[in-house]
Structure 1
Amino acid sequence: MILLNDPRVAARRSAAARIVVDLDAVAHNTRVLVARARGELMAVVKADGFGHGAVGVARAAIGAGASWLGVTGIGEALELRAAGLGAPVVSWLNPLAADFASAVREDIDLAVPGLSHLAVMPAGARVHLQVDTGMARDGAAPQEWAGLCRAAREAEAAGRIVVAGVMSHLAGPDTAGALRRFRECADVARGAGLRPAVCHLAATAATLTAPEAHFDLVRAGAGLVGIDPTGGNVLRGAMTLTAPVVEVRRVAAGTPVGYDHAWRATRDTTLALLPVGYADGLPRPAGPHAEVLLGGRRCRVAGRISMDQIVVEAGAGCRPGDIAVVFGPGRHGEPTVADWAGWAGTLPHEIVTGLGARPHRHVIGGN
């Protein structure tokens, strides 16, 4: 058995990949988004704050002007309450058997996507009626919306629930159709006698570029940690992933590297081994294109990304113990999360939420 305070644990961590989360960057991004929003800002900290730590991101965002918090499951919301965060919280993706009673006890608002969910809401629940405006995903279908509003009004009149909001989600940058449908649905809700305090539709992209979709509240999650789907370059990346060089070797032209010998040296060159791989969240498809920053220069990954390690073609003078920046904010020439997403043909969201548990995590800023 190895205890948590065993020196072998510290030694293992010192030799491993390292994640640094910059809460000052989260605060900066929050202030940018608050300035853009026409209404209030909900800081969405689902998926452990997009892999950055839900509680830390939530505190930084609230301190920088966000007034609401948003998550998917009730368990995520309860974690925020246990950490002492008292801001309004909305949870919007729960099965019918979820612990709604605990949510009501902890003053957590709940999304209601249909009649089945409405029927299991405990007495005293504050709900946000959720409508589908074009994704065929979560939310009541258009033909079911009027019936849900009528039933919610009856439950509210009976004193069982409070309808605090109406919400939906945008499928992409073409907002016109969804915006029209959302306005119509909000009118239907009011026509049924409901008076929701907040209507909310926009996420990060629409917060930055579509003020007509803001309504009373906008929901920003990816933008808090520096992911900007609009490419506007006004947000700062909040995460840096580094790895130490474990081994350096000089090889001759023609030397194959890694599984399937997918890469061969085209010249006499230096290779550096880094202890980070797809088990740590590096997307394997990125291998043929991926780079890291090592010794002040971009170095290409040589061969396939393995479970625990990658090999990079390093410059002269590279030594064991040197630190490679796998990705970061990009201010010093290092690759960014967006770079890795592009190399892998995926989204930055998948990169930051897919990082494994092995890299040692360190949080800076936020004071």
Structure 2
Amino acid sequence: MTRLRRPRSTATEPTLEIDLSAIAANTRRFAAATQGEVMAVVKADGFGHGLGDVARVALTNGASWLGVTSIAEGVAVRATGLTAPVLSWLNPVEVDVETACRNRLDLAVPSVGHLDAIVAAGCPMRIHLQLDTGLARDGAAPEEWLELVAAARRAEAAGQITVVGVMGHLPAADRPGHPANAEGRLALQCGAELAVRAGLRPVVRHLAATAATLTDPSTHLDLVRIGVGLIGIDPSGSTRLRSALRLVAPVVQVRRVPAGTGVGYGHTYVTDRPTTLALLPIGYADGLPRAASGRAEVLVAGRRRPVTGLISMDQTVVDLGDDPVEQGSEAVVFGPGDEGEPAAGEWAEWAGTIPHEIVTGIGPRVQRCVR
């Protein structure tokens, strides 16, 4: 995917503008909010903002670690020339240990089976023991933790691994005060203590992601993992961060229609007056959620305009009313909101989802412009 480095686009085609200064400002804010280290999580192509760009900017503005899910993402980080510690935490038992070792990646270990596979590969890996702290998702179940800790201690004593960290993930950090968060914090504390009693010496304990970092200092421990917060999303809704994205598209057609005109497939929208319609060359194949049809808005000529009819695979129609808007004008689909345009969070509300899905779902047909 080509990423052009130039000033703001002129909207000759759908373009996603990525503001690296916003990522820098957000990173500095998180670094100032904790006494621990900051891991910049750059999974999913840096949440759709560019893995390499997000990683580089975060590391120069207060982060000291990088986090990814897969080995492939870790390899992509190393391909940029960055040398900071990189943790990969979502891998199958048949993980490619040799590639991880060659690229100097840390691996999260959620089970004895994962640990056995790492040991069998014969590469002296740095690992983070991963405990399920309340999601019933990734991480060792509490009843399996002692077995995992004991196996890790044996492997470390044999020189086969080094246990660098103990990690977990909070189940409801976007809802400060939820009792499951306190339970998760206690679970990780106990898990880390059991690891130390077994003779392990992890140097980092980490539990908090973006929301907990902003709302609960007791979860910060030695390191916090910041993902969507880097690009301007706060799942807790407690803090206004700087959005790093602006999605624009050109108006490619303008037409005047009479009252009673059906718009789009199924005529789910019928004009109730004479009006002007604008066609945008962007649709659900580019990441606009079809579920937002009939509720979403975009900014054209300084005013919000309603999306009319169903969002199609490649096209979206908006109602301009009686305003004189020319073909070639720029439509701002979403952005920071500084000019009155919708934010990604509003699109999420219109579609019944979360902003994470909106920003990571912008498709490869949309040109990227880094500034």
TM-score (norm. length: structure 2): 0.93
Q: Do structure 1's residue 313 and structure 2's residue 310 form an aligned pair? A: no
Using the alignment, how far apart are the partners of 1:330 and 1:362 within structure 2? 18
Alignment of 1:204-219 (within 5 A): 204-219=210-225
Q: Secondary structure at the match of 2:242?
A: coil
Using the alignment, how far apart are the partners of 1:177 and 1:52 within structure 2? 34
The 8 Å contact of residues 295 and 318 in structure 1, kept in 2 or not, is answered as yes
Q: Secondary structure at the match of 2:308?
A: coil
Letter aligned with residue 134 of structure 1: G
Structure 2 alignment gaps of length 5 or more: 3-9, 174-179
Quote the residue 1:337 is aligned against: 344
Q: Secondary structure at the match of 1:301?
A: strand
Q: Secondary structure at the match of 1:175?
A: helix
Q: Secondary structure at the match of 1:28?
A: helix
Using the alignment, how far apart are the partners of 1:86 and 1:123 within structure 2? 19
| Structure 1 position 98, deviation (Å) | 2.4
Q: Which of 268, 274, 278 is equivalent to 1:268?
A: 274
Quote the residue 2:166 is aligned against: 166
Using the alignment, how far apart are the partners of 2:13 and 2:293 within structure 1? 20
Q: Which of 242, 245, 249 is equivalent to 1:236?
A: 242
User: How many correspondences in the alignment?
Assistant: 354
Using the alignment, how far apart are the partners of 1:148 and 1:338 within structure 2? 40
Structure 1 alignment gaps of length 5 or more: 6-12
The Cα offsets for residues 260-312 of structure 1, whole Å up to 9 and x where unpaired, read as 10001111111000000000000000112100000000000010000001000
Quote the residue 2:48 is aligned against: 51
The 8 Å contact of residues 38 and 211 in structure 1, kept in 2 or not, is answered as no
Quote the residue 1:22 is aligned against: 19
Q: Secondary structure at the match of 2:83?
A: coil
Using the alignment, how far apart are the partners of 1:344 and 1:62 within structure 2? 34
| Structure 1 position 141, deviation (Å) | 0.3
Q: Do structure 1's residue 283 and structure 2's residue 280 form an aligned pair? A: no
Quote the residue 1:180 is aligned against: 186
| Structure 1 position 234, deviation (Å) | 2.8
Quote the residue 2:359 is aligned against: 352
Quote the residue 1:146 is aligned against: 146
The 8 Å contact of residues 291 and 335 in structure 1, kept in 2 or not, is answered as yes
Q: Secondary structure at the match of 2:139?
A: coil
The 8 Å contact of residues 11 and 248 in structure 2, kept in 1 or not, is answered as no
The 8 Å contact of residues 207 and 214 in structure 1, kept in 2 or not, is answered as yes
Quote the residue 1:117 is aligned against: 114
The Cα offsets for residues 168-211 of structure 1, whole Å up to 9 and x where unpaired, read as 11111351111111111111111111110100000000010110
Q: Which of 69, 73, 87 is equivalent to 1:72?
A: 69
Alignment of 1:32-43 (within 5 A): 32-43=29-40
Give the share of equivalent positions with the same residue, in percent: 58
Quote the residue 1:221 is aligned against: 227
Quote the residue 1:8 is aligned against: none
Q: Do structure 1's residue 257 and structure 2's residue 263 form an aligned pair? A: yes
Runs of 4+ in structure 1 off by over 3 angstroms are none
Q: Which of 316, 322, 334 is equivalent to 2:329?
A: 322
Using the alignment, how far apart are the partners of 1:339 and 1:204 within structure 2? 20
Q: Secondary structure at the match of 2:128?
A: strand
Q: Secondary structure at the match of 1:94?
A: coil
Give RMSD over aligned pairs. 1.4
Quote the residue 2:177 is aligned against: none
Using the alignment, how far apart are the partners of 1:123 and 1:72 within structure 2? 20
| Structure 1 position 14, deviation (Å) | 6.7
Quote the residue 1:137 is aligned against: 137
The Cα offsets for residues 61-107 of structure 1, whole Å up to 9 and x where unpaired, read as 00111000000001101111111011000000111222211211221
Q: Secondary structure at the match of 2:67?
A: strand
Quote the residue 1:61 is aligned against: 58
Quote the residue 1:361 is aligned against: 368
Using the alignment, how far apart are the partners of 1:243 and 1:112 within structure 2? 44
Letter aligned with residue 143 of structure 1: E
Using the alignment, how far apart are the partners of 1:114 and 1:208 within structure 2? 30
Q: Secondary structure at the match of 1:165?
A: strand
Q: Secondary structure at the match of 2:162?
A: strand
Quote the residue 1:103 is aligned against: 100
| Structure 1 position 38, deviation (Å) | 2.4
The Cα offsets for residues 101-155 of structure 1, whole Å up to 9 and x where unpaired, read as 1211221100000000000114310000000011110000000001100110000
Using the alignment, how far apart are the partners of 1:14 and 1:273 within structure 2? 13
The 8 Å contact of residues 214 and 239 in structure 2, kept in 1 or not, is answered as no
Using the alignment, how far apart are the partners of 1:296 and 1:264 within structure 2? 24
TM-score (norm. length: structure 1): 0.94
